[in-house]
Amino acid sequence: MAIAELEQEWHVRELLTESEEWDSLREEAVPLYRKALDDFLSETADVATFRTRIDSLSKSHGWWGFRGTGQMFFNQLAKAADPADLSTALRAALPAPTSSEEAEAKLEAFVAAVDRTRERAAISGAAKPGRGRVNFFVSFFWELVDRDRWPIFFPNSRNVLEQHGLLDTSQPQPALYTAYRSRIPVSHHGA
């Protein structure tokens, strides 16, 4: 099944109309999330404050946010990571990239930071953040900043693409995201 056939299924099931309604609710929350991200990136908020603000926004504005596994991943990172290392890694990874190559480089560097955190978690007995959450977590912020070019790596979307033979999920996280991105229709794909 091709992308065009999947889009047709959306129309037949009226999912497109539902997604447009849902999207308008998401748009209302964007400025609040952007403020939290901008405060962190400009170093007016630390990692703990940023994590708490994102968690609070996800609960109060549920149409856009992590809830579930994304917030759990962030909590595990914040609990187990060296705070300075995590701050540096997040500030490098979360600004939207300008190209697919930059996206892969940012994701690769963030996977390395997650691996360092996993090592610290093993020593301290804390829960290890899952490497498989990197694409979703980072692309959440990329879409927040530049949604026309950087779609969120939703696990359900990934699964649908995989089930229809449109995405090879055996790739490493960075390459998997750029392959996923090439299959998700967005307004202005650019790079």
Tell which residue, 143, 126, 145, 131, has the closest CA to residue 173: 131
Residue 65 has pLDDT above 50, yes or no: yes
Mean pLDDT of the residues in the chain: 86
In this structure, are residues 58 and 87 in contact, taking their beta carbons and an 8 Å threshold?
no
pTM recorded for the entire structure = 0.84
- What pLDDT does residue 189 have? 41
Using CA atoms, how far residue 149 sits from 54, 63, 86, in Å, is: 22, 20, 26
Higher per-residue pLDDT: 30 or 128: 128
pLDDT tens column, 136-168: 999 999 999 998 899 999 888 898 899 989 999
Average pLDDT in the 94-123 region? 97
